[in-house]
Amino acid sequence: MRRFFVFLSLLLVSLAVMAQDTITVMQYNLLQYGNYQGYGGCSETTNSTQRKDECIRDLLGYVKPDILGVCEFGATKQLQDAFLRNNLNINGANYWKSDNIMNGMGSNIINHIFYDSRKMELKQHVSLPTSPRNIDVYEFYMRTSSLLSGDTIKLVCIVAHPKAGNNCESERLAAMTTVMNYVSAHYANDNVLIMGDFNMYRASESGYQILTKTYGNTSALFIDPLASEGGVGSWNNNASFARFHTQSTRTEGTCFSSGGLDDRFDFILMSDEIFMGSEQMRYLNGTYKAIGNDGLHFNKSINQNGNNAVSPQLAQALYDCSDHLPVTMKLRVQAHLGVEDHTMAEGYKVYPNPVKDVLYLDVVSSVAYRILNVMGQTVMMGETSREINVSDLPAGIYFINVNGLISKFVKSTALY
């Protein structure tokens, strides 16, 4: 009998491990892929689609993404079909899909997503009317064998490419306000990623702020995976942010932007639900990368004097393909555990929520705790058997970590 229970325990552990899957997300500005209409200096000679495809295949083979978000993709079905045929559904693969192009603004370039249909199913694709091009919203459901019958895990991916230019902050703010209003109305409590080339020069920019701050609206919030690693700040032409820069890959060149790596334009931001893991999907810490950035190429070409992050072949592919680096992150998908947003485990709760002065923990013994802000920074820590005085915390959204289980709460200054 004892051997049976040992076997059963090992089996349950094995099933628990098998019940998890990892999704790799990749976002890449493809620099006028297949488009030669009106963009200075870009032609089949200076920005060859054939050469780009060779580079893309190398990079996809290295990253092995499950979701590929792209910007600056030529707005034709012919290009879409060719991209699938030449770069994704190759070597026996036939499972990569994309949705119909939506281009209400009539732009020459669009945002788009390609995805592994073995792992996810597209429920709907919505195009938000923003200038100068639409922002695309893709709602997926995971196809994971670990799910119980009827259980689903949702992932919403938003691809955005707001207007470029140091004097276009107001246009970028308008685009991101449209996004936040839509997310608040439709996906306030879901797993959501927003990705793309945001063309933002610093974290103080209003468009970045409205994505990552609550501004009184606590129903939607995005978290920057690099906030806890020092990647948030005034990154434009700032050597202190060299290891986070994503643009540009060259010091000179026709069609391609020049100057070398000196800006962090490319992002994947996550909703607080993904940060907490409250909706069966969690960001894997430390997996956010700008492919090819070794921190040693500030104001240099990505392949100059070698590259410590990738092979010479990949460094050359990054140089030839685009003037941006792709960014990637990994998400852990798990079976539903029945843990609600504010429940850390059975019998472990935090309340009231929102809280003004004292946060109570429904625990039976003293536990260690850590409170983090939305930047991932620890603002309080200690040990308690029941209550935590949070009256000195500024109003906003916080996360409390107890025994490795994370829950969200809102600190309010209002009386109730």
pLDDT at 414: 59
- Write down the pLDDT at residue 244: 98
Please compute, for residue 294, the number of CA atoms within 13 A of its CA located in the half-sphere on the CB side: 18
Q: What is the pTM of this model?
A: 0.81
State the span(s) of the chain assigned CATH 2.60.40.3080.
Answer: 343-411
The more confident residue out of 19 and 48 is 48
pLDDT over threshold 60, residue 332: yes
| Maximum Cα–Cα distance across the chain | 76
Lowest mean per-residue pLDDT among 38-42, 290-294, 320-324: 38-42
Q: Region 228-253: what's the mean pLDDT?
A: 95
* The pLDDT of residue 304 is above 90: yes
Least confident range from 135-144, 192-201, 226-235, 395-404: namely 395-404
What are the DSSP calls for 88-109, one per residue?
Answer: IS-TT---EEEPPP--TT--SE
Q: What's the CATH class of domain 18-333?
A: alpha beta
CATH 3.30.420.40, domain 343-411, yes or no: no
Which of 338, 342, 340 has its CA nearest to residue 350?
342
What pLDDT score does 217 carry? Answer: 57
Tell me what the mean pLDDT of segment 277-305 comes to.
95
- Please list the residue range(s) of the chain that carry CATH number 3.60.10.10: 18-333
Reported as a pLDDT band with limits 50, 70 and 90, residue 216 is low
Q: With 80 as the cut, is the pLDDT of residue 296 above it?
A: yes
Q: Identify the pLDDT of residue 362.
A: 72
Contact between residue 168 and residue 130 where contact means Cβ atoms under 8 Å apart: no
Of residues 145 and 290, which shows the higher confidence score?
290
Comparing 221-225, 289-293, 376-380, the range with the smallest average pLDDT is 376-380
Residues 6+ away with beta carbon under 8 Å from 207:
162, 169, 172, 173, 175, 176, 198, 200
Q: Look at residue 4 and tell me whether its pLDDT is greater than 80.
A: no
Taking only the tens place, the pLDDT of each residue in 23-45 is: 999 999 999 999 998 777 899 99
Cα torsion angle, 183, 185, 186, 189, sign: positive
For range 237-262, the mean pLDDT: 95
pLDDT of residue 144: 66
Report CA torsion sign: 233, 238, 240, 245. positive
In whole numbers, what is the pLDDT of the chain averaged over residues?
Answer: 87
Going by C-beta distance under 8 Å and a sequence separation of 6 or more, which residues neighbour residue 190? 154, 156, 271, 273, 279
98-155, pLDDT tens digit by residue?
Answer: 999 999 999 999 999 999 998 999 999 999 999 999 999 999 998 865 444 455 899 9
The two three-digit tokens of residue 359, written as one number: 């946060």
Per-residue pLDDT reduced to its tens digit, 68-80: 999 999 999 999 9
Exposed, middle or buried: residue 222 (CB in 10 Å: 0-12, 13-18, 19+)?
buried
